[in-house]
Amino acid sequence: MGSAAGKNYINEFAGLKSWFTSLDHKRIAILYMISVLTFFLVGGIMALLIRAELFSPGGQFLTGDSYNQVLTYHGAIMVFMVIIPGIPAIFGNFFLPLHIGAKDVAFPRLNLASWYVFMFGAALAVSTMFTSKIDTGWTFYTPYSIKTGTAVVTMVLAAFVMGMSSILTGLNFIVTTHKLRAPGMTMGRIPLFVWAIYSTAILQVLATPILGITLLLLAAERIFGVGIFDPALGGDPVLFQHFFWFYSHPAVYIMILPAMGIISELITTYSKKTIFGYTAIAYSSIGIAAVSFFVWGHHMYVSGQSEVAGVIFSFLTMLVGVPTAIKMFNWLATLYKGSITFDSPMLYALGFMFLFAIGGVTGIMLATLGLDVHFHDTYFVVAHFHYVMVGGTLMALVGAFYYWWPKMFGKMFSETYARLSFVFIFVGFNVTFFPQFVLGAMGMPRRYFDYIAPYESLNKISTVGSWLIGIGFFIVLFNLIHSLLKGAKAPDNPWGSKTLEWTVQSPPTHHNFDHDPVVTAGPYEYR
Amino acid sequence: MSTDNHVTTAGKHHHAHHFKDAWHEFISAKEGIWLFMVTEILMFGGLFVGYFIYHMKYPEMFAEGASFLDWRMGAFNTFVLIGSSLTMALGIHYIQVGKNKAASWALITTLACGAIFMVVKYFEYTHKIHLGLLPGKFFAYPEAVSQNLAMYFGFYFCMTGLHGTHVLIGMALITWVLIRNMRGEFDSHYFTPVEGVGIFWHIVDLIWIFLFPLLYLVG
Amino acid sequence: MKWMTFISMVWASVAQANTKTSFMPPAATEIAGQVDNLYAFLLWASLIACVILIGGMIFFAMKYRRKSANDKTAYITHNTFLEFLWSFIPLVIFLFVFGWGWYIYHQMRAMPKEALEVHVYGKQWAWEFVYKSGKASTNEFVVPVNTPVKLIMTSKDVLHSFYIPSMRIKQDVVPGKYSALWFESEKLGDFHVFCTEFCGAAHSLMLGRMKVVSQADYEAWLQENDEGLTLVQRGAKLHNDKGCVACHSVDGSVKVGPTWKGIWGATHQFVDGGSALVDEAYIRESILEPNKHIVKGYPAAMPSYQGQLTEEQLNAMIEYIKTLK
């Protein structure tokens, strides 16, 4: 079924209905892209509100209660609706089948259903904004979440539903990776992005059910008062934290592993050089995924868990640091003797390495028992996870947008504006979050609506930084929309990449490959 | 688009365009279903962990709670479910050997077993509700010895409730494959949905085999 | 772990200069000093790691930037020795840091046998301290210098976390459980006490003040009582001691609840549409049945003080509010 000239997955079928009923993984990826970007805008506005409120001590335009609500929505939206689905559901969906030479994911109908389930959960979550809201923080810690008068039940059910979507996406990707690889595409030849998405999928499938049952129990706690997490009824609120972090720590790697996969793609492409240590990077993804199940207690050094537990969790956390270090050094070695360009996706990749290095070393500080007692629940933690989640995942996400945009839409974008957006986001990010390390060292606790006078100047700097990030993201948005409307036609392979998606036309046809590909070498054969 | 499908094997089912052949589609679907079962087991696993932790903490209270449960009803239900797993397996076997009519009867028997299970559950629940043995704030049993007996029934209703929901979902799925089977959509080459529903039903059964001793027998 | 002590001491002399620029609040205990040494070590190690990674990245990016469109690049797939090195060296460093952290943590967790014990209650949104003598105080925590102090803590409602930055100690305060902390301050002075576990609307206003004083001042403080204070002075003290200060300012600034400044004689509008003149009866009702009428623009967040204040104390509060013009 050769494609007629000019036919691609976008124009092959017309009408909104053809989008909402499409089983094409590429169209579903676009559905996810639009929804995730919308939620990102909402979550981002919440972040700007938080920073604006913290510009000065005391209440500016929010009250203690409304601040806590904004904070909770920022966290919950960014975690459950942006970062967790972000890279896997957009780029995983679009490029996993292309990367392994498949025509689609294993279960296309399930794939579309996952999007509907996700949107249903997201709608539930957003609906609470218009009812009694929620103010527990995204972690829903008991017993506050049992006692507060806000819409906790709706919100946890929303998170449960979105978790289900995440599970379905994950299992779809696992089976796709196992069963749909093109002839010759051995596991040793799949691109590292696929390894990352695959490791992530394993985490999604194995960790999310625990979150599911935890959230159901929390809902039962509120509706029936079953007492499992309620100290007033003989339950243990700390048990909730164990259950919660048993999911939510692997979830941290659900957020970062796909980003690492993207960085491997970007660095090889823009260095025009084969990846250094393919096996090490691939296995380190799996290693991170495996060990991440046993480190949840490092969120709980001061929760009242025993000293022995703290010691074990600290030890295992240090072990997770090793595969992460391996990846960093391998990327560095990939640059060595390469032919490096500074196209905007590469700038984001280098920016990722810069920020992730800082996020990584501060992670080691937080994993250290005696030191974490001081840093726990201070701005040091806030700064650390923003360096990893925003500096890491979001940098990779924007980099991926620029990298794959020509393939996805067949249009080029303005390189000048792309570089400009990088400058704003990168500089703004450091201005926003570096001072927060210092605030944390000084002892400013997180989730603070108000703070004492000595913390004021650094908070002001941080707020100014948030405006720069905001401008940066608007430039990205403007650039991409402008590209859709006025962009030059993109060639099939504008960057000279070697992976399979660049061998097909831009944008790809409905069936991806006109002739089933046969693979005879690894993914990064730059010789 | 008709070009999406290739007819490569006998039978009415056309495998989707991204699979090589019907077998490829079948083993992929089966792997997906097994992965989903893993998530089901892990979800119940969370409940079991909670159960073990509190059982260690309050052994007397759990013993008192278990004393309100009639182990004969539980045992009866266990046999019913094990029997239903057998008929489910038989149903799949009959489809594989092309005996669709026998398969329908096997599926109907499975459905009936599920229904019997739920009826027994209904009587057990009404008995508890009658006595006021309810979770948390609805607990209204005046002669409780342990102070937090309500928690036992919190676990009881959460665990059996979640399991019961799965039995109902399983019954709905069996009805669906039953109708499709009666329409003649399955044959020895294509029976993936029946196989999948069967795996789901076995797992639901397996979870009950853990629930029964934990709730009824451990005293 | 003798060798650990030795390494700590050696490093302490190296790190002395750094602690001043590490932004940590002044360390007030011996353990806090150890924490700062570890922190200083990690800062240096991190700096070196970042120089290698980020510096290396910038160096390679500049040195190997593309010269022409058909540059040939080296085809290097891996190097087992190098990969071993950059797995093994970080591992050794991480494990070393782990051991050092454990050593400090262990001292934090090992409660001294002979210590001044103080009971601490966390509640929304104040810290209550009860001493062996029966003396109780709210948000004001007075301890003698150079004496091991052990805190036995629990919560009256939700999770809180007791944190004194200058002591480098922190412990969650959990309802239905006791948790413990200890410290021995070597310095006199005032220190902040924060709540670091999210606990609701006034989480950030749940501030305590720790005063480390001499043994003699501590004894004197234990003997202090309300005799000799005027009614207004007692009211002012109650405003602080009962935790009112967390939500109600007396200078007009907006906190969780309405400020007390100038409310006497004002008219409050309620969310249910009604209104009331702020007089003795209204203040009494607001304290004892706070959720009967909710003032427009404020959450129904206040707990009842029924049974927690005597008639005399209520009068003292009312007299104090009258003076806030």
pLDDT given for residue C7 in this prediction: 62
In a domain, B80, yes or no: yes
* pLDDT above 50 (res A520): yes
Q: Residues A289-326: pLDDT tens digits? A: 899 999 999 999 999 888 899 999 999 999 999 999 99
Query: Is the CB of residue A104 less than 8 Å away from at least one CB of chain B?
Result: yes
Q: From residue B51, give the alpha-carbon distance in Å to each of A232, B68, B214, C35.
A: 18, 17, 9, 39
Residues forming a β-bridge with C144: C213
Compute the distance between CA of residue B150 and CA of residue A227 in angstroms, rounded to an integer: 8
Strand-strand pairing, C149-155 and C116-123: parallel
Q: Fill in the DSSP letter of residue A103.
A: S
CB contact under 8 A, A209 and B35: no
Cα angle A514, A518, A523 (rounded to 5 degrees) comes to 105
Mean pLDDT confidence for A462-477: 95
Q: Computed over its alpha carbons, how large is the radius of gyration of chain B? A: 21
Per CATH, is A23-503 categorized as 1.20.210.10?
A: yes
**Total Cβ atoms within 10 A of residue C88:** 11
**Which chain A residue lies closest to C78 (C-alpha atoms)?**
A277
Q: Kindly list the strands in the beta sheet with C179-183, ordered across the sheet, starting from the edge strand earlier in the chain.
A: C136-138, C126-130, C116-123, C149-155, C179-183
Residues forming a β-bridge with A509: A512
Q: Residues A392-437: pLDDT tens digits? A: 999 999 999 999 999 999 999 999 999 999 999 999 999 999 999 9
pLDDT given for residue A69 in this prediction: 93
- The mean pLDDT of chain A is 92
The token pair at C200 is 């609701």
Compute the distance between CA of residue A229 and CA of residue B54 in angstroms, rounded to an integer: 11
Compute the distance between CA of residue C281 and CA of residue C268 in angstroms, rounded to an integer: 13
The token pair at A518 is 């046969």
Compute the distance between CA of residue B48 and CA of residue B54 in angstroms, rounded to an integer: 10
Q: Residues C114-136: pLDDT tens digits? A: 899 999 999 988 999 999 988 88
Residues forming a β-bridge with B12: none
For A285-314, the three-class secondary structure string (H helix, E strand, C coil) is HHHHHHHHHHCHHHHCCCCCCCHHHHHHHH
CATH code, B72: 1.20.120.80
Residues of B in contact with A210 (CB under 8 A): 42-43, 45-46
Which residue in C83, C101, C157 is closest to A370 by CB distance? C101
Q: How many residues are there in chain A? A: 527
In a domain, B196, yes or no: yes
What sign for the dihedral angle of Cα B131, B133, B137, B140? positive
Mean pLDDT confidence for C68-79: 86
Question: In which residue are the tokens 């702020």 written?
Answer: C278
% pLDDT > 70, chain B: 94
Q: Residues C271-302: pLDDT tens digits? A: 888 888 888 888 888 888 888 888 887 877 78
pLDDT given for residue A53 in this prediction: 93
Lowest-pLDDT range, A103-107, A127-131, A494-498, C16-20?
A: C16-20
The token pair at A258 is 């796909």
Compute the distance between CA of residue A11 and CA of residue B132 in angstroms, rounded to an integer: 63
Question: Mind telling me how many Å the CA of C203 is from chain A's nearest CA?
Answer: 7
Mean pLDDT confidence for A139-157: 90
Which residue in B43, B138, B148 is closest to A213 by CB distance? B43
The token pair at C9 is 């001491």
Q: Is-contact A279 A264, C-beta < 8 A?
A: no
Reported pTM: 0.89
Residues of A in contact with B140 (CB under 8 A): none
pLDDT given for residue B7 in this prediction: 39
10 Å CB burial of residue C15 (0-12, 13-18, 19+) is buried
Compute the distance between CA of residue B22 and CA of residue B190 in angstroms, rounded to an integer: 8
pLDDT given for residue B3 in this prediction: 38
Query: Is the CB of residue A147 less than 8 Å away from at least one CB of chain B?
Result: no
Which residue in C57, C172, C298 is closest to A353 by CB distance? C57
CB contact under 8 A, A228 and B44: no
Query: Is the CB of residue A484 less than 8 Å away from at least one CB of chain B?
Result: no
Per CATH, is C116-223 categorized as 2.60.40.420?
A: yes
**Total Cβ atoms within 10 A of residue A149:** 11
CB contact under 8 A, A213 and B47: yes
The token pair at A66 is 């409304």
Residues of A in contact with B54 (CB under 8 A): 228, 235
pLDDT given for residue C70 in this prediction: 82
Strand-strand pairing, C189-195 and C208-213: antiparallel
Lowest-pLDDT range, A328-332, B47-51, C26-30, C312-316?
A: C312-316
pLDDT given for residue B9 in this prediction: 44
pLDDT given for residue A2 in this prediction: 41
* pLDDT above 80 (res C307): no
Three-state DSSP class for residue A277: coil
Q: Residues B25-38: pLDDT tens digits? A: 999 999 999 999 99
Q: From residue C99, give the alpha-carbon distance in Å to each of A311, B100, C3, C29.
A: 9, 67, 11, 21
Residues of A in contact with B33 (CB under 8 A): none
Cα angle A479, A480, A485 (rounded to 5 degrees) comes to 95
pLDDT given for residue C227 in this prediction: 72
Q: Residues C191-246: pLDDT tens digits? A: 999 999 999 888 998 999 999 999 999 999 988 877 778 888 888 888 887 878 88
Question: DSSP labels for C143-183?
Answer: EETTS-EEEEEEESSS-EEEEEGGGTEEEEE-BTS-EEEEE
Residue C141: phi, psi to the nearest 5?
A: -120, 105
Q: How confident is the model at residue B4 (pLDDT cuts 50, 70, 90)?
A: very low
Which residue in B36, B43, B134 is closest to A212 by CB distance? B43
Q: How confident is the model at residue B5 (pLDDT cuts 50, 70, 90)?
A: very low
Three-state DSSP class for residue B148: coil
Q: Could you tell me which of C50, B215, C86 has the C-alpha nearest to residue A364? A: C50
Query: Is the CB of residue A217 less than 8 Å away from at least one CB of chain B?
Result: yes
Range of the domain at B78: 20-217
Query: Which residues lie below 8 Å from residue C17, measured CB to CB, with a gap of 6+?
Result: none
| Nearest-10 crossing angle of helices A192-224, B149-182 | 120
- What CA dihedral angle connects A47, C54, A348 and A39, to 10 degrees? -20
In a domain, B112, yes or no: yes
Find out whether the peptide bond into C44 is cis, omega within 30 degrees of 0.
no
Q: CATH second-level architecture of C231-323?
A: Orthogonal Bundle (1.10)
H/E element holding B66? helix B59-67
Compute the distance between CA of residue B83 and CA of residue B70 in angstroms, rounded to an integer: 20
Residues of B in contact with A104 (CB under 8 A): 16-18
Three-state DSSP class for residue A6: coil
Compute the distance between CA of residue A300 and CA of residue A307 in angstroms, rounded to an integer: 11
Would you tell me which residues 162-201 of chain A have a C-beta closer than 8 angstroms to some C-beta of chain B? 167, 171-172, 174-175, 178-180
Residues forming a β-bridge with B210: none
Query: Which residues lie below 8 Å from residue A45, measured CB to CB, with a gap of 6+?
Result: none
List the beta strands (DSSP E) in A456-509: none
CB contact under 8 A, B136 and A225: yes
**Total Cβ atoms within 10 A of residue A53:** 22
Question: Mind telling me how many Å the CA of C55 is from chain A's nearest CA?
Answer: 9
Which chains does chain A touch, 3 or more C-beta pairs < 8 A?
Answer: B, C
Q: Where in chain C is the domain with CATH 2.60.40.420?
A: 116-223
Query: Is the CB of residue C176 less than 8 Å away from at least one CB of chain A?
Result: yes
Which residue in C57, C77, C202 is closest to A335 by CB distance? C57
**Total Cβ atoms within 10 A of residue A524:** 26
pLDDT given for residue B22 in this prediction: 86
Q: Is-contact C250 C232, C-beta < 8 A?
A: no
pLDDT given for residue C135 in this prediction: 87
Mean pLDDT confidence for C300-313: 80
* pLDDT above 60 (res A229): yes
* pLDDT above 60 (res A233): yes
Q: Residues A10-61: pLDDT tens digits? A: 888 888 899 999 999 999 999 999 999 999 999 999 999 999 999 998 878 8
Residues forming a β-bridge with C137: C129
Question: Mind telling me how many Å the CA of C223 is from chain A's nearest CA?
Answer: 31
Q: Where in chain C is the domain with CATH 1.10.760.10?
A: 231-323
Residues forming a β-bridge with C123: C126
Compute the distance between CA of residue C14 and CA of residue C10 in angstroms, rounded to an integer: 7
Question: Mind telling me how many Å the CA of A3 is from chain C's nearest CA?
Answer: 32
Q: Residues C78-94: pLDDT tens digits? A: 899 999 999 999 999 99
pLDDT given for residue B141 in this prediction: 80
Question: DSSP labels for A63-86?
Answer: -HHHHHHHHHHHHHIIIIIIIHHH
Residue A166: phi, psi to the nearest 5?
A: -65, -40
Compute the distance between CA of residue B61 and CA of residue B65 in angstroms, rounded to an integer: 6
The token pair at B207 is 């979870």
* Chains C+B touching (3+ CB pairs under 8 Å): no
The token pair at C10 is 């050696």
Compute the distance between CA of residue A147 and CA of residue A233 in angstroms, rounded to an integer: 13
